[in-house]
Chain A
Amino acid sequence: MLSINNLETSYGLIKALKGVSLDAAEGEVTCILGPNGAGKTTLMFTLSGIIKPDAGSIDFFGTSLTGLAAPKVLREGLALVPENRLVFPLMSVRENLLAGAYTRNRSDKDEVEADIEKMFARFPVLKERQEQNAGTLSGGEQQMLALARALMSRPKMLLLDEPSVGLAPVIVNEVFAIIKQLKEDGLSIVLVEQNVVKALEVADHFYLLDQGRVTFAGTPGEMENDDVIKRAYLGGG
Chain B
Amino acid sequence: MLYFLGIFQTIGVHTLLGLSAYVLLLTGQLSLGQVGFFAIGAYVSGILTVLFSWHIFAALAVGALVAGFFAFLIGFPALRVKGLMLVVATIAFSEIVRLFFFNLSWRVEVNGFDVGPDSTQGFREIRYFAANGWEQTHVVALIWSFVILVMFLLWWLDRVRAGAVLRAVGEDDLAAQSSGVNLTMVKVAAMTAGGVIAGIGGGLFAHSTTYVDHHTFTILLATFAVSYPILGGHKNVFGTLLAVIFIQGFVIEGLRFMGDYRNIVFGLLIILAMNLRPQGLVDGHFISDIKKKLGGKPKKDSADA
Contacts and interface: CB of A to CB of B under 8 A. Distances in A.
Interface in B136-150: none
A50 B178 contact: yes
A91 B167 contact: yes
A6 to B, nearest CB: 24
B164 interface: yes
A82 B179 contact: no
Interface stretch (B3-11, B43-51, B125-133, B169-177): B169-177
A126 interface: no
A228 interface: no
Interface stretch (A73-81, A190-198, A212-220): A73-81
Interface string B250-293: 00000000000000000000000000000000000000000000
A42 interface: no
B219 to A, nearest CB: 30
A50 B172 CA distance: 14
Interface string B148-175: 0000000000000000110110011011
B182 interface: yes
A102 interface: yes
Contacts of A95: 164
A71 B178 CA distance: 7
A75 B168 CA distance: 18
A81 B182 contact: no
Contacts of A50: 174, 177-178
Interface string A117-160: 00000000000000000000000000000100110010000000
Interface string B179-190: 111110000000
A103 interface: yes
Nearest to A44: B178
Interface residues of A, number: 27
Interface residues of B, number: 16
Given A50-B174, A82-B174, A86-B174, A91 B168 contact: yes
A69 interface: yes
Contacts of A91: 164, 167-168, 171
Contacts of B182: 69-71
B168 A150 contact: no
A64 B301 CA distance: 57
A48 interface: yes
A79 B181 CA distance: 12
A89 B177 contact: no
B38 to A, nearest CB: 29
A71 B181 contact: yes
A88 B178 CA distance: 12
Contact of A89 (B165, B172, B179, B180): B172
B171 A81 contact: no
A154 to B, nearest CB: 12
Contact of A79 (B164, B171, B172, B178): B178
Interface string B99-133: 00000000000000000000000000000000000
Of residues A48, A86, A87, which shows the largest number of chain B Cβ atoms within 10 Å of its Cβ?
A86
A82 B175 contact: yes
A99 interface: yes
Contacts of B164: 91, 95, 98-99
Of residues A79, A95, A98, A99, which shows the largest number of chain B Cβ atoms within 10 Å of its Cβ?
A99
Nearest to A84: B174
A136 to B, nearest CB: 12
Contacts of B177: 50, 70
Contact of A149 (B165, B167, B179, B181): B179
A90 B180 contact: no
Contacts of B181: 70-71, 102
A86 B173 CA distance: 9
Closest 5 CB pairs of A and B: A103-B180, A86-B175, A74-B180, A88-B171, A80-B178
15 contacts: A69-B182, A71-B180, A74-B178, A81-B178, A87-B175, A88-B175, A90-B167, A102-B165, A102-B179, A102-B180, A102-B181, A103-B179, A149-B175, A150-B178, A153-B180
